[in-house]
Structure formats: C-alpha cells, structure tokens
Structure 1
Amino acid sequence: MRIPPLYRRPAWQRFIAGIVIGGCISWLVFLFMFGVTQEKHAKKIKFQQETINNLEQDIKIWQDEYKELNRKNADLLTIQNVQVKIKDYEKYNIDLQSKLEEENKVKEDLKSLIANDLNSTVKNKDLIIKTIENKTVKFNNRPYRYIIKSIIFYTTISIELELRLN
C-alpha cells in the first residue's frame, strides 16, 4: 500500500495549508473577541458591585438615622387631645345632655395634660386615675362616682368611665 503522492500537487498543499492557517487565525480572532467581551463584562460587574456596595451603605446610614429619629420622636411625643366617654349612663336613667356635660367637665379637669410629654404623663397615671375616681358627681340629685374601665395613653388620651352609685 502506498500513500498518494500529494506532495506533487501544489494545489492540494495550498488548500490544506490554507485550512490550517485559517483555523489558527480564526481561533486567535475568536480568543481576542472573547477576551475583550469578557473584560467588558468583568468591568461592568465590578462597577455594578461597587455601586451596590455604596447603595447598601447609604441604605444602612439612612436606616440608622431613621431609627434614631424614631427613637427621639417617641421620647418627645406630646399629648394633643383628651377623649372621655361615660358608659352605663342609661342604666341609671341619666339623660344624654347631663352625660355630655360631665364628659366635658372631666375633659376640662384633664386639660392641663395637653402639650405635656407622654412619658411624664404615663408616669403620673396613678395620680390621674385617683383624680378621676375620687370625684363625686350628682345626676338627678343622686351621688355617683366614676370607675375607670380603660385608659389609653398616646397623642390622644382615651378614657372610658363607668358610673357607680356612691
């Protein structure tokens, strides 16, 4: 068996050499283009990572400041309004007008709490309760006293009172 004598035909030699050289050149061009593209993506990813880190730091700073301001504001909350509701007035046949007048009297008694600091008001909660509960009120020439059913402290103090015969 014999190998065909291709070395004698220069056209085939050029063709095979062209294939080999073209493959090498195309491989080099591919590597160059791939490297440039990868470098662009690496730079973009690095830039995005730096941006993300900066934004995360900014978010952390904003959150810390927000929490601190919330803490300060919670400490500085002031009372702006007082609401009083008298329950069980129907049970003693007390009219609505008298009930509203007495609610307004209690509001007037507690008006000094408006614009006070919430913390100091909550600390004096027992004093407020005793002030209201020790008060004797007359409806239809009968003495009544208040029992505090609920008291809620926030920017508005909500007090729910119940009437009892004295």
Structure 2
Amino acid sequence: MHIPPYHKKATWQRFFVGTFVGAVIAYCLFIYMHGTMYGELLEENRDLKANVSELKNQNDALLEDNKNLDEQSQESIKVETIEITIANEDELPDSLIIHDMEELIKHEINHIVGKNVSIISESDSLLKATIEDRDYTVDDFTYQFSVDTLVIHQTVKITVNADIAT
C-alpha cells in the first residue's frame, strides 16, 4: 500500500503547519491556564494551612485555659480576709474605739482565715454565736455584739450592732 505524497502540495503543507502551530498555541495556552490555576490552588492551600495552624494553636490555648479553669473550679475557695462593720457606730459614746472593737472581733474569729468557704458556710450559726456570746471590753466599757448580716466568700463581711453590756 502506498501513502499519497500530501506533504508536497502547498495546501496540505499550510494545513499541517497550521495544525502544528495551533497545537503549539493550544499547548502553551493549556500550560498557562494550568499554571495559573495551580498557582491559585497553591496559594489557597497555603492560606488554608495557615488558618488550620492558627486554629489548632487557638484550640490548644483554649483547651489549656479550660483545663486551668477546671483545676481552679475544683480547688475550693478559701477565706482570705475578714471585714467587720459596726452598723450603729454613731450611737457609741466614743468613736475612737470602733477600730479597737473591730480588731477584737477579728481576733476572735481569725481562725477562719485559710479555711474552705464551704466549711465556714456550713457552720455560720457557730460563727454568729462566737461573736454574740462573748463580751468585749474596751476602755472600761463592756460591749456585746449582735450580728446583722454575714456574707461568706473569699472576704467574710460581717455587720454587727454594738450594745453596752450591763
């Protein structure tokens, strides 16, 4: 079988050259489009990796913070300070002794500092009785206190009324 010599005719030569040039242009266009698309995908991939890395770091930080909060919530709250307020201080004969009275009450219940708030709140009536059942002597006067309010937290706040004991 014999192949006809089409490559010698000018029309067929133009056709083959046009096909070859078209194939080269199509290949170049394909490479350009593929490269552009691949570059955009690489850029998007890097952005997504950066976001994933940032979110992992944020998640680790939040998990660590959650763990610390869990540990803190499991730790019991302890009494740190005691604040005494005398509600009727203007009715007392001498306003200079108020500080001494507050110090005497603080000295009487100072043992609760450092104790768990839950333990102190369970025995609040005992704390009230400790303050109310004792007579406090300041400058030749004896005072008795009655507890008005008692707030138990990290700072125990006690409001008392002072009366001169008879």
The alpha carbon displacement at 1:23 in A equals: 4.6
Give yes or no for contact 2:83–2:156 (8 Å, CA) kept in 1: yes
Aligned to 1:158: 157
RMSD, matched Cα: 3.6
Aligned to 1:146: 145
Q: Secondary structure at the match of 1:90?
A: helix
In the TM superposition, what are the counterparts of 1:53-92 in structure 2 within 5 Å?
Answer: 53-73=55-75, 76-92=76-92
Aligned to 2:134: 135
Q: Secondary structure at the match of 2:56?
A: helix
Question: What TM-score comes out, normalization by structure 2 length?
Answer: 0.69
The alpha carbon displacement at 1:21 in A equals: 5.4
The alpha carbon displacement at 1:144 in A equals: 5.1
Confirm or deny that 1:123 pairs with 2:125.
no
Aligned CA distance change for structure 1 residues 35 and 141 (closer, same or farther; 3 Å): closer
Aligned to 1:4: none
The alpha carbon displacement at 1:22 in A equals: 6.5
In the TM superposition, what are the counterparts of 1:18-97 in structure 2 within 5 Å?
Answer: 20=22, 23-73=25-75, 76-92=76-92, 94-97=93-96
Q: Residues 88-129 of structure 1, C-alpha deviation per residue, up to 9 Å, x if partnerless?
A: 12224x202332222221111111212222221121111111
Structure 1 gaps, min length 5: 1-7
Deviation beyond 6 Å, 4+ runs, structure 1:
16-19, 138-143
In the TM superposition, what are the counterparts of 1:7-22 in structure 2 within 5 Å?
Answer: 20=22
Question: What TM-score comes out, normalization by structure 1 length?
Answer: 0.69
Q: Secondary structure at the match of 2:145?
A: strand
Q: Residues 62-102 of structure 1, C-alpha deviation per residue, up to 9 Å, x if partnerless?
A: 132122122133xx33223322121212224x202332222
Q: State the distance in 1 between where 2:152 and 2:114 align.
A: 13
Structure 2 gaps, min length 5: 1-9
Aligned to 1:114: 113
Q: Residues 29-75 of structure 1, C-alpha deviation per residue, up to 9 Å, x if partnerless?
A: 322322331341243144235414522441342132122122133xx
Q: Give the aligned length.
A: 156
Letter in 2 for 1:72: Q
Q: State the distance in 2 between where 1:165 and 1:152 align.
A: 25
Q: State the distance in 2 between where 1:115 and 1:61 align.
A: 30
Aligned CA distance change for structure 1 residues 61 and 17 (closer, same or farther; 3 Å): same
